[in-house]
Amino acid sequence: MLNQLHETCRKLLEDGTVQVVIGYGQSSPDTPAYPIFVTRPEDVQQLVWNNQCFGNLTTYLTRKEVRAMGKPAIVVKGCDEKTLVVLEKESQIDRSQIVVIGMACSAVGNPPLAKCQACEVHMPRFADATIGQVENPASETDGRYADLEAFLQKTPADRMAYWMNELDRCVKCYACRQVCPLCYCETCIVDKNRPQRIDTSPTLKGNYAWHITRAFHLAARCVGCDECTRACPAGIDLRLLNLSVAKAAETDFGFRAGMDPEVEPVVGSYSEQDKEGFIR
């Protein structure tokens, strides 16, 4: 697989089809891979592909600096590829101006990450070049929301206590926002102070406000790459928050972000049949 990746990227750069390849690099085996931006054909040897390739590289597609580098090729796993569907629906990328290199992936991490155990996109679906093959790609298990459902067994009071404890550790580093490909707003709502809608201090009040806002802004957009959880230096399980909104989107609207490019986004559309048992 690695040779094929190198060959593909070398050709793309040599032909001038792309000006930059966004892929994974690694300093030594068994350490997490990091993003690299290859512009010369001879440098494609730096690209790696293994179960340490955690990052969702699509986050770079919306950055000014990367756009300025020219037409990109990007290495994605199936889960990252879902982000491309959402980004295109939101007019952030022009799919025809990107070369997508999809890598077949059975799992990342050792032991495999939680998201990999319920993965339904081991094989990329919309790539321009697909590399590799997964034998017996696991069909979708219902375990997608298992962690959330286990959490919801707690009483509301216990859940509140849990979050008061967890969110206390948040220092407002905004790593979650920086790493997220869907947090592409030029000026984030939290950075605005007329009015100051969200308390920016790293107090419980400010942390609650921030995380509720971010989770909600990702409603029916978050594809579950879980990079935010992985990036959080305080070890907060942000996954639970994003899953709860994703579950609501799936239960109420049968919608799963990033799966079907033809479906209209949930937020910004409506149906007269939306269920409203909770409204008097």
Partner 1 sequence: MSDNNEFEPKIIAYVCNWCTYLGADLAGTNRLEYPTNVRIIRLPCTGRIDFNLIVKAFEMGADTVLVSGCHPGDCHYTSGNYHARRRWMLFRGLLDTMGIDMERIHFTWISAAEGAKFQKVITEITEKTKQLGPYEAYRKVCKVS
Partner 2 sequence: MARIGVFTCWCGENIARNVDVEKVAEAIGKLPHVRCSVAYKYMCSDPGQAIMREKIVSEGLTGVVVASCSPHMHLKTFRKAAESEGLNPYVVEMANIREHCSWVHHNKEDATRKAIDLVRMSVAKVLRNHALDPIRVPVTKRALVIGGGVAGIQAALDIADAGHEVVLVERDPSIGGKMAGLSETFPTLDCSQCILTPRMVDVGQHPNIKLHTYSEVEAVDGYLGNFKVTIRKKARYVDMDKCTGCGICWNACPSKKNLSEFDFGMGTRKAIYVPFPQAVPARPVIDANACIKLTKDKCGLCEKKCPAGAINFDDQDELITEEIGAVVVATGYKLYDIGKEQQNDKLAGYGEYGYGKYKDVIDSLQFERIVSASGPTVGEIQRPSDGKEPKSVVFISCVGSRDNAKGVSYCSKICCMYNAKHTMLYKHKVHDGQAHVFYMDIRAGGKNYDEFVRRAIEQDGAQYHRGRVSKITEENGKLIVRGVDTLAGVPVTVEADLVVLAAAMRPADGVEQLAQKLNVGYDEFGFLSESHPKLRPIETNAAGVFVCGACQGPKDIPESVAQASAAAGKVMMMFSRKELTREPEVACVNEQNCAACFACARACPFNAIEQAEIRDRNGNLVKRTARVNPGLCMGCGTCVAICPSKSVDLEGFTEQQIYAQVESLV
Tokens found for residue 27:
């300093």
Short-list 52, 104, 51, 96, CA closest to 75: 104
Residue of 154, 178, 189, 261 that binds partner 2 (CB under 8 A)? 189
Q: Is 205 in the site for partner 2 (CB under 8 A)?
A: no
Q: Does residue number 280 form part of the binding site for partner 2 (CB under 8 A)?
A: no
SS (H, E, C) 36-104: EEECCHHHHHHCCCCCCCCCCHHHHHHCHHHHCCCCEEEEECHHHHHHHHHHHHCCCCCHHHCEEEEEC
Task: Count the site residues for partner 1 by CB under 8 A.
Answer: 53
Contacts of 25 (CB under 8 A, 6+ apart): 33, 34, 35, 36, 46, 47, 48
Name the phi and psi angles at 36, rounded to 5: -130, 155
Binding of partner 1 at residue 264 (CB under 8 A)? no
Q: Does 203 bind partner 1 (CB under 8 A)?
A: yes
Listed in order, strand segments (DSSP E) in 134-236 are none
Question: To the nearest 10°, the Cα dihedral for 81, 223, 258, 13?
Answer: -20
Residue 188 in the binding site for partner 2 (CB under 8 A): yes
Under the binding rule (CB under 8 A), the answer on residue 157 touching partner 1 is yes
Which listed option, partner 2, partner 1, none, makes contact with residue 138 (CB within 5 to 8 Å by class)? Answer: none
| 212 belongs to the binding site for partner 2 (CB under 8 A) | no
| Nearest by Cα to 75 from 30, 132, 32 | 132
Two structure tokens written together for 82? 């879902």
Binder among 153, 194, 273, 276 for partner 2 (CB under 8 A): 194
Tell me how far apart the alpha carbons of residues 201 and 194 are, in angstroms, rounded to a whole number: 16
Q: Which of 1, 2, 150, 164 binds partner 1 (CB under 8 A)?
A: 164
Counting contacts by CB under 8 A, is residue 216 touching partner 1?
yes
What is the nearest approach in angstroms of partner 1 to the Cβ of residue 119?
22
Contacted entry of partner 1, partner 2, none for residue 92, CB cut-off 5 to 8 Å set by kind: partner 2
Residues contributing to the site for partner 2 (CB under 8 A) = 90-92, 184-189, 192, 194-197, 217, 264-265, 267-269
Binding site for partner 1 (CB under 8 A): 148, 151-152, 154, 156-164, 168, 189, 197-199, 203-205, 208-209, 212-213, 215-216, 219-220, 240-241, 243-245, 247-249, 251-253, 266-272, 274-276, 278-280
